[in-house]
Amino acid sequence: MRVPLLLAGLAVLTSGLLAEARAPATQERAKGGAAKKETPAPGKRAGASTELSRADRYFAICDYDADGWIMFSEAKASLGIDRDGWKAYDEDKDGRIIAAEFRKRYEAILATGGAFLPPRPKADAREAIPERADEALETYDKNKDGGLDTGELETLLVDVGAVRLEAETSIEQFDRDLTRKLESSEIEDLLTLLKPSTSATKGPRPRTIDELFGKLVPRKLQDGSTPQPVRIMPPVRSFRRLDIDADGEISLDDLAELQRPLVLPVRARAVLAALDTNGDGVLDESEFRAAMVPSP
């Protein structure tokens, strides 16, 4: 079976289920007769719509006064480190951390299997979360194309202190029409996630988009109508909306539940078997993504 036919089969199988689914200035400072030069990491105040690497983004957050380097007081407040932790960053012992030193330490932590926790932004540096999508577009849509691309969204997230959200990941999860940018209705969904809850109900806040939106919603029945399967509403990823039991895999049981009681011209078992490249009987997310990419 050819890959295009498999993709067409998967599209037929899931089309009814997914039909509703629609981010150089150089600073110089001399110390003891020696000059140390470094281009400041891009950030909120030094590069509006530049797509940042995570290390550079974290550096910009820690650099509270935006002077191109991090002093100990800034590192202590943003990273929670003491003098011993400071030494691991400040390799040349000049009393400050430049972007290259920060990036090197960040990469070293990840290389050893560690986790680099997002830094704490300066409290009074946070901008208010836009109330509506049109406000967000007016402030952050620099190229005026009617949407927020990765770089523009990155700027918004840094401004409002949403350091745990990655622009690329947010676009991947909220971009229902696959334009590689967030437009008005998609931005509204993102703002819902960013805004503090106004509910009087106490309890932990959702930490991910799946926790916030990934709930099974029964379909309304009309008199005499045939029962339909439950659905998961957007902006949850397409993979999650097919993975009904949320076990990280799309199985034949998931597909059978979703197509019930429809009779489709494509056999779910045949499509699943053809796209299951490792032969374990289910589709993981990497196999699902690979199936969505047309062959050259």
Q: What pLDDT does 237 receive?
A: 74
Which range has highest mean pLDDT (41-45, 150-154, 210-214)? Answer: 150-154
Q: How far apart are CA 91 and CA 86, in angstroms?
A: 9
Please provide the distance, in angstroms rounded to a whole number, between the alpha carbons at the two ends of the chain: 16
Residue pair 10/275 in contact by the 8 Å Cβ criterion:
yes
Q: What pLDDT does 24 receive?
A: 37
Q: 274-292 pLDDT, tens per residue? A: 888 888 888 888 888 888 7
**Confidence grade of residue 267 (pLDDT, cut at 50, 70, 90):** confident
Instruction: Supply the range of the domain harboring residue 264.
Output: 3-20+234-291
Q: Return the CA Rg of the chain.
A: 24
Are 64 and 140 within one domain? Answer: no
Q: How far apart are CA 162 and CA 149, in angstroms?
A: 17
In a domain, 211, yes or no: no
Are 251 and 168 within one domain? Answer: no
Please say if the pLDDT value at position 100 is more than 90: yes
Of the residues 70, 100, 123, which one is the last residue of a structural domain?
123
Q: To 5 degrees, how large is the angle CA 207–CA 208–CA 212?
A: 95
Average pLDDT, the chain: 74
In a domain, 173, yes or no: yes
Go through 286-295 and write b for each residue having 16 or more CB atoms within 10 A of its CB, e for each that does not. Answer: ebbeebeeee
Please say if the pLDDT value at position 169 is more than 90: no
Cβ neighbours for 181, distance < 8 A, ≥ 6 positions apart = 23, 145, 147, 148, 149, 150, 152, 153, 171, 175
Are 152 and 115 within one domain? Answer: no
Residue pair 43/159 in contact by the 8 Å Cβ criterion:
no
Are 9 and 56 within one domain? Answer: no
CATH of the domain at 171: 1.10.238.10
In a domain, 213, yes or no: no
In a domain, 180, yes or no: yes
Q: What pLDDT does 69 receive?
A: 93
In a domain, 273, yes or no: yes
Tally of structural domains, the chain:
3
Of the residues 81, 102, 123, which one is the last residue of a structural domain?
123
Are 163 and 75 within one domain? Answer: no
Closest CA to 140 of 242, 90, 130, 168: 130
Q: 25-38 pLDDT, tens per residue? A: 333 444 444 444 44
Of the residues 97, 123, 149, which one is the last residue of a structural domain?
123
Are 53 and 83 within one domain? Answer: yes
